[in-house]
């Protein structure tokens, strides 16, 4: 009911709902009802290709897998991302893959290489992506060299 209320108040809202509840019960009926009401759903907390396939069959707009958590359990998150993207691209239902739980720049690069549609990162990871010591050294050299130019 909260999802219906928010969707009615906010244009272009996407409601984030996990595939399973905290007790482990499926949220399939809730997701199906909201999709039939025309509400865009981000089915979240997914860890496997089979979960992504199931959520996609419900007609959700986005599916979110958690790369870092898959990796924590010894899973091959790159392969999971790749398999999900391959399935979604072949399915042609318009569902997009969001990759979250990014913990390193390497996770970002892997997600991009695996052709993830969307990758979410924290500000700390974004800062690390921007900064490179040689970039900083180079722009400082540029600035120093510009001081010797005629004014």
Which residues participate in catalysis according to the annotation?
16
> What is the C-alpha to C-alpha distance for residues 73 and 50, in angstroms, rounded to an integer?
17
Crossing angle for the helix pair 123-130 and 105-113, to the nearest 10 degrees: 80
Tokens of 127: 């800062």
Q: With DSSP H G I counted as helix, E B as strand and the rest as coil, what are the percentages for the chain, rounded to 5?
A: 50, 15, 30
DSSP codes joined into one string, 114-140? TT-SEE---HHHHHHHH--HHHHHHHH
């Amino acid at each position: 009911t909260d999802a219906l209320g928010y969707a009615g108040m906010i244009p272009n809202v996407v409601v984030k709902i996990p595939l399973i509840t905290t007790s482990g019960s499926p949220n399939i009926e809730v997701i199906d009802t909201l999709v039939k009401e025309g509400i865009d759903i981000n089915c979240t907390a997914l860890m496997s290709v089979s979960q992504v396939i199931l959520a996609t069959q419900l007609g959700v707009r986005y599916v979110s897998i958690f790369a870092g958590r898959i990796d924590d359990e010894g899973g091959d998150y790159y392969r999971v991302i790749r398999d999900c993207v391959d399935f979604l691209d072949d399915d042609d239902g318009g569902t997009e893959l969001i990759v979250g739980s990014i913990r390193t720049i390497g996770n970002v690069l892997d997600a991009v290489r695996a052709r993830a549609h969307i990758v979410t990162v924290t500000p700390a990871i974004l800062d690390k992506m921007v900064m490179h010591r040689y970039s900083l050294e180079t722009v400082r050299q540029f600035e120093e060299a510009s001081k010797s130019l005629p004014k």
